[in-house]
Amino acid sequence: MGRASYSWVRNMVDILLAAGLVSSLISALLAGASSTLIIYTRTQFLAIESLHMVIAAGLLGGIASWYFGAAPADIFSLAFMALLTLLVAYMIEKGYSQDTAIGFGVVIASAIASTSSYYIALGIPGGISYIYTLLFGSPFLFPLSSAAYYLVLGLSILSMMVLLWRLFIYMAFDPEFFETAKGGGRIYRWVLYTVIAITAIYISRLVGAIPAHILLIIPGMAVQSLGSSSYLPGIAIATVSSISAAILSYYIAWLPYGLSLCLTSISLYIGIRLGVARHG
């Protein structure tokens, strides 16, 4: 009986570790590429300020999923995130400054997040746990049965990003000449903003909103230090930092994944900077 119980516990532990590694790997594939794209298209403002939008979208998705039964929360979250991002892009196109447009989007997102969190905490069983998981996340809670769904969705977003990679960077580098030579700059810009927004909510569903923003910024900074504009180094850096963080968090009980990810990402970034400085 004792051996059987020990075997069951060990299998559960192995499943938790496997879930954490799969979640970390899937999120890193998309985060590494997006982080590099964010740095080189100078859209850090959107990635950083989208934290409010991600939280609002996640909470709204939770409420919608609860009241509409089988409807997946991801669909509502992605749709809301895309709409709010397009609103910000539209304001920028109409001549409003980035700060004004983002500020307007943040105000709307904050109002929705405040209202949604109130109703989730009071009206939905397990609502407080849902809010905590949305904010800080845990890759170990990732359902392995959903791995194929998230992998296909992530690879679809990554494929679109890679397909338009050169156009996005070209447009950000010289928007006036891009508009003259290629045309359709507004549409490409809206697509870029939407891809970044969808990526943010996608990664947040896997590892939490706050860890997602670490993955959306640090790998791109490291790639820029290397002098590369390819998405491959970003994916490699995000994968190493994310997998290492999951392993550390798993074996060190008091170390939450978000803190572990922050430590591994910053350590890797500093190591790259020192290596470049030494050989530069």
Q: pLDDT tens digit string along 16-51? A: 888 888 899 999 999 999 999 988 888 877 777 777
pLDDT of residue 72: 66
The residue written with tokens 């590429």 in the block is 33
Stated pTM of the model: 0.83
Stretch 164-173: mean pLDDT: 85
Stretch 142-148: mean pLDDT: 83
Stretch 155-170: mean pLDDT: 89
CA 264 – CA 244 distance, rounded (Å): 7
Other residues' Cβ atoms within 10 Å of the Cβ of residue 28: 29
Radius of gyration of the chain (CA): 20
Q: How far is CA 125 from CA 16, 59, 62, 66, 129, in A?
A: 23, 14, 12, 10, 9
The angle subtended at Cα 56 by Cα 118 and Cα 19, nearest 5°, is 100
Residue 8 has pLDDT above 50, yes or no: no
Residue 280 has pLDDT above 70, yes or no: no
Stretch 149-174: mean pLDDT: 87
Give residue 249's Cα distance to chain centre: 19
What CATH number labels 23-279?
A: 1.10.3470.10
User: Which range has highest mean pLDDT (144-153, 205-214, 260-269)?
Assistant: 260-269
pLDDT of residue 11: 52
Q: pLDDT tens digit string along 67-114? A: 776 556 777 888 888 888 888 888 888 888 877 888 888 889 889 888
What does pLDDT average to over the chain?
A: 84
pLDDT of residue 230: 87
What are the sequence ranges of the domains in the chain?
Answer: 23-279
The answer to which of 18-27, 47-56, 201-210, 258-267 has the lowest mean pLDDT is: 47-56
pLDDT of residue 3: 52
